[in-house]
Each structure stands twice: as structure tokens, then as C-alpha cells.
Amino acid sequence: MNFAAGSKHLGKQGGRFLLLALVIVATGIGLGLAAGYPVSRIQFQDSDAVRLDQARLAGKVDPELALTAQNDLAVGWEAGDPALSSFGLLGSDFCGETVELPTEVSPKATAVFAKPADSSVLISEAVRVEDWQSATEYIDSVSKALSKCDQFYRTDLAGNRLQVEIKPGLGEDPITDQVSRRFVASDGSNVQVWSMMAIGDVIVATDYLGPAAPQKSLLRDLEKKILLRVAPENFALGGASATSTPSTVSPEGSPTTVLEGGAADESSGDQPASSESSTTLPG
């Protein structure tokens, strides 16, 4: 699909909605994401991240504050059609496996943003579930489901089968209870970049969809702003809380610094911030 040409021929708001909906369908969200045909297996390495004190945060995180806000985004993004929130990630299938969302104890909060310049969409979701253990288990279950394939097939608008590759996430994760991936159409026609994280008993999802990859730091910057809002004593821009206590040894044997508020900084001194591979997306 030629997104630039399509934009010129679609009428204002109605045209934008149609084009954005087509982008979402093209990426596979409306068709169950990776519910197609798993063809191989991929392994992803862990990266250093801050371990939040999830038990302490349970019941204290406001799902509305855990959403991406307009002022979190750069110039060019604007409020999108709320109807597009129905294409959100939470409760979706991954690699043909249904990952059930834990029991919700609050209405799901959503926000949708659009960038008319390139017809991209950003969907933000947050929901409180029954307990923090269920929130972290959901993140683990999504990650395990994604380990079962590194590509899948979907059907495009013309009825053709198109291969979609599952790429590693966004680099260094800001917190441990998190999963992220990039879904890239093999023909380069669209890209989906997303992440999920558990903050206390709230699950937060951020999902970008568009004809080309977003600015490299977009989702990571949004995640850090959310974490700073909802868990400022556990997380600070640029890293962990400034106040820390002496290092201890984690169960895995690596040094762990317990942060003020109960978080743990699992970084390992002067070693690289992340061992996770990085792939340049088309577009």
C-alpha cells in the first residue's frame, strides 16, 4: 500500500480514520496478531533492568496515570479516534496461543493518538487486575508464548498471505517485568512496535503501528515517563533512584542494589547496558 498517496485521496477526519484502521488491520491486530502460523523458535536474552517492589506498589498505581499522555509525545502527534482502542494488545493471541488477561478489577483505561504526517497510530492501555502476582504472570505468559515462533503469516486486505517477522524488543528494558517485540512485514509495508509491563497490580501496554518504524527511542521514552509518574520513588529518568543501599547478591549470583522504595538495580557496573541484539527496521 502506498500510504503517502492514500493519504492525499482520503478526506480529512473520516479519511484519516479509514487509513489508520487499514494500517491496524494490515499489521495483523484485527486478525489476532500472531495467531497465524508459527514457523520457528527464537530465544531472546535478558537485559539489565530495575526490579520494582511490586507488592509495595500494588493498589497504589492509578491506571489513568499509567497511560501515555498528550504531553508525553512530540509535536505532530494528536488525539486519535477512541474507537481504535478496541485493537489494543491486552488479551490478544500471540504465536497462535491465547493469553488470557487476569481478572480485571477496574475498567480498562485507554488512550489513542495519531500522527497524520505518516499515518501512524499509538494505542495506550492500562488495567488493574486482581493482584500483582497475576500482573507479572501475565507478562511472563506473553513472553513464553512469543518464544514459540519468530515469524507468522497473516492475510492482507487483498486476501494474500504475508509473512511477518518477530524481531527482538526495544533494547534495554527499564524494568524486569516487561516484554516487548517488533512485528515487521516481510515486504516492508508496515511495522508494529509494542511493549507491556507490570507496575504493581496494573498492566500497561503501549503499541505503535505505522507504515515505517518510529523514532528509535519513542516507546522507551514513553515508558520512562509513565514510570516516573506512577512509581517515582522506584524509578527516575536516567536510571534508578538516586538513593540506594549497599549491594546484595541476587539469586542468579549477580550484584543487586536495593533502591529506596524497595526497587533493585540489577545493572552490573561497567559492563554493557544490554546484551540484547538490535535490528534496524525498514522504512
123-149 residue pLDDT tens: 999 999 999 999 999 999 999 999 999
For the segment 103-108, the average pLDDT, to the nearest whole number, is 94
For the segment 223-227, the average pLDDT, to the nearest whole number, is 95
- Say what the pLDDT of residue 61 is: 96
Instruction: Please compute Rg for the chain using Cα positions.
Output: 19
Residue 64 has pLDDT above 90, yes or no: yes
Q: Encode pLDDT of 178-193 as tens digits.
A: 999 999 998 888 899 9
Share above pLDDT 90 across residues of the chain, in percent, rounded to a whole number: 49
For the segment 157-164, the average pLDDT, to the nearest whole number, is 82
- Say what the pLDDT of residue 210 is: 93
For the segment 69-97, the average pLDDT, to the nearest whole number, is 94
Q: In which band, very low, low, confident or very high, does the pLDDT at 249 lie, cut at 50, 70 and 90?
A: very low
Q: In which band, very low, low, confident or very high, does the pLDDT at 83 lie, cut at 50, 70 and 90?
A: very high
- Say what the pLDDT of residue 80 is: 96
Share above pLDDT 70 across residues of the chain, in percent, rounded to a whole number: 65
For the segment 45-52, the average pLDDT, to the nearest whole number, is 71
Q: What is the mean pLDDT of the chain?
A: 75
Residue 140, all three cell numbers: 511472563
- Closest CA relative to residue 3, chosen from 210, 216, 162, 155: 210
- Say what the pLDDT of residue 239 is: 42
For the segment 211-230, the average pLDDT, to the nearest whole number, is 92
Contacts 24+ apart (CB under 8 A), 84-88: 84/17, 84/20, 84/21, 84/24, 84/112, 84/121, 84/123, 85/110, 85/111, 85/112, 85/123, 85/125, 87/24, 87/29, 87/30, 87/123, 88/123, 88/125, 88/205, 88/207
Residue 268 has pLDDT above 60, yes or no: no
- Say what the pLDDT of residue 238 is: 42
- Say what the pLDDT of residue 47 is: 52
Q: In which band, very low, low, confident or very high, does the pLDDT at 99 lie, cut at 50, 70 and 90?
A: very high
For the segment 196-224, the average pLDDT, to the nearest whole number, is 94
- Say what the pLDDT of residue 155 is: 77
